[in-house]
Amino acid sequence: MSTTSRTLGSVLFSLVLLSGSAWAASLTIQGDVKGPDGKPVPSAEVRIQRTDNKIFGGTLKTDAQGRFVFKNLAMGTYMLRASANGMAATSVDNVLTRAEGAVRVNFNLKKQTGAASAMPSKKKATHMVFVPAETGSNMGGRWVEVPDGDSTVNASRTSKASGAAIRGMTNGSGASNQNPGGN
């Protein structure tokens, strides 16, 4: 084999490798996000995740015209999710990248309705308190959730209760006031 043919073979092999890496780096998914009125939604969040190997791809915001572009993706299957304030999030699954050009995915977000669109109610602040078992009991203590700002349980706020009353309190049957002074 001559030196010229080896050199030519090496050059061709290098070109194939370079074109393959350039091909892999050019995979793109792009599209538009529009609102219920059909107008572009600027600053909408678009998330991408690879579904064939569960790798999170990233998040970006749409531009002023509601456009987004994910560039330099690996060959594979992706899930895209678009969301914006006051609008229901929308997902598109099984988006397959291709070498022939960019894959286009457009989102038409709908106005959010129902309880999810209302402001979430403020969760009551609570903390957990450990209540030890009574003396002579084979049962361990238990954790009880109490509201913040409530004073700690002390002797003036407790009374002896029957086993049925205690079981009612822990089971939530509402039998907490049965026989408050009994055994």
Q: How many residues belong to the chain?
A: 183
Residue 148's pLDDT is 78
Q: At residue 167, what are phi and psi to the nearest 5 degrees? A: -60, -40
Please name the CATH architecture into which domain 26-111 falls.
Answer: Sandwich (2.60)
Residue 174's pLDDT is 45
Residue 15's pLDDT is 47
Residue 162's pLDDT is 55
Residue 178's pLDDT is 45
Residue 167's pLDDT is 63
Q: How far apart are CA 125 and CA 129, in angstroms?
A: 13
Residue 53's pLDDT is 80
Side-chain-side CA neighbours of 136 within 13 Å: the count stands at 0
- Per run of 10 residues, the mean pLDDT along the chain (length 183 residues) is 58 49 67 94 92 82 94 90 91 90 92 64 74 77 77 48 59 47 47
Q: Domain spans of the chain? A: 26-111, 126-171
